[in-house]
Amino acid sequence: MELVVFSLNYSSWSVRAWLALDHAGVAFEVRHIGAFVDEGWRDQLLAITGAAKVPVLLDGELTVHESLAICEYIAEAHPEAGLWPQGAHARARARAVSCEMASGFHSVQQEMPMNLWGRAKAFVAWQQVQAELVRIFRLWEEALHRSGGPFLFGAFSVADCMYMPVLSRLRTYGVEAPTGLQPYVEAM
Ligand SMILES: N[C@@H](CCC(=O)N[C@@H](CS)C(=O)NCC(=O)O)C(=O)O
């Protein structure tokens, strides 16, 4: 398998798919496309996917775009990795919060771009960013309360893959999660 990504330092969507593959212990290679840097990068990407976005997973004849769809494919192909929790209710909740991340929290994504190694000197979270962070913290607290941790749904799951870039952003921008979430922050 091959995972086509931009930088794993900056591309939060790429990191999500990479985490699922890595956690499942799948043999895969990473192909970097130098987005916005390499000449013809968009044409390279368009030759792989009409969606013109990364990540893209190539598995033989199969091409899968969309980070969550890639995570789903890996979870289905490798059930032993336990990438979704046991139990229909827990799975439904894990899928719901994963979809919420995939389709929302636009202000956090725009105002706090992922930079794994970066450390911002001064950061002010505007109202909408704060509101989104509060929602994220609440949903983490609720999931951890039900599961008992250490990860959102007990064992490491796709939901943790989806939220890992948020944890990275908290560190980069010096935003503290509530005290009760510290064990989760540490575990991640
Ligand atoms: N919903 C997509 C989002 C993918 C996405 O926006 N990827 C960015 C890089 S992090 C991208 O490819 N941007 C290229 C562009 O917009 O031209 C997913 O979950 O995979």
Q: Which atom of ligand 1 is the closest one to the Cα of 10? A: 10
What mean pLDDT is reported for the chain? 97
The DSSP symbol for 54 reads S
CA 109 to chain centre: 12
- Residues 51 and 98 reside in one and the same domain: no
Q: How far is CA 158 from CA 16, 44, 171, in A?
A: 8, 28, 21
In the chain the first and final C-alpha atoms are separated, in Å, by 25
Q: How many distinct structural domains can be found in the chain? A: 2
**Residue 151 forms beta bridges with which residues?**
154
Question: 49 alpha carbon to ligand 1 midpoint, in Å?
Answer: 12
- Residues 67 and 127 reside in one and the same domain: no
The DSSP symbol for 2 reads E
- Residues 25 and 51 reside in one and the same domain: yes
- Strand-pair category, 29-32 with 56-59: unpaired
What whole-number distance in Å separates Cα of residue 75 and Cα of residue 99? 15
Domain end position, chosen among 54, 81, 108: 81
Question: 179 alpha carbon to ligand 1 midpoint, in Å?
Answer: 32
CB 51 within 8 A of CB 23: no
CB 65 within 8 A of CB 3: no
- Residues 143 and 167 reside in one and the same domain: yes
Question: 50 alpha carbon to ligand 1 midpoint, in Å?
Answer: 12
**CATH number of the domain residue 94 falls in:** 1.20.1050.10
Residue to probe by mutation, ligand 1, list 5, 13, 72, most atoms within 8 Å of CB: 13
Domain end position, chosen among 34, 57, 81: 81
**CATH number of the domain residue 41 falls in:** 3.40.30.10
Domain end position, chosen among 27, 47, 81: 81
- Residues 67 and 46 reside in one and the same domain: yes
User: Tens-digit pLDDT profile for the chain (188 aa)?
Assistant: 999 999 999 999 999 999 999 999 999 999 999 888 888 999 999 999 999 999 999 999 999 999 999 999 999 999 999 999 999 999 999 999 999 999 999 999 999 999 999 999 999 999 999 999 999 999 999 999 999 999 999 999 999 999 999 999 999 999 999 999 999 999 99
* 55 preceded by a cis bond (ω within 30 of 0): yes
Those residues whose C-beta lies under 8 Å from the C-beta of residue 28, and which sit 6 or more positions away, are 1, 2, 3, 21
What whole-number distance in Å separates Cα of residue 75 and Cα of residue 65? 15
- Residues 102 and 180 reside in one and the same domain: yes
Q: Which atom of ligand 1 is the closest one to the Cα of 13? A: 10
| Residue of the CA atom closest to atom 15 of ligand 1 | 53
- Residues 98 and 46 reside in one and the same domain: no
| pLDDT for res 115 | 97
Owning domain of residue 136: 88-187
Q: Enter the pTM of the model.
A: 0.97
| pLDDT for res 173 | 98
- Residues 75 and 93 reside in one and the same domain: no
- Residues 71 and 99 reside in one and the same domain: no
Taking CB atoms and a 6 Å cutoff, what residues make up the pocket around ligand 1?
6, 11-14, 52-55, 66-68, 102
| Residue of the CA atom closest to atom 12 of ligand 1 | 53
Q: Residue 128 corresponds to which tokens in the numbers above?
A: 């909408």
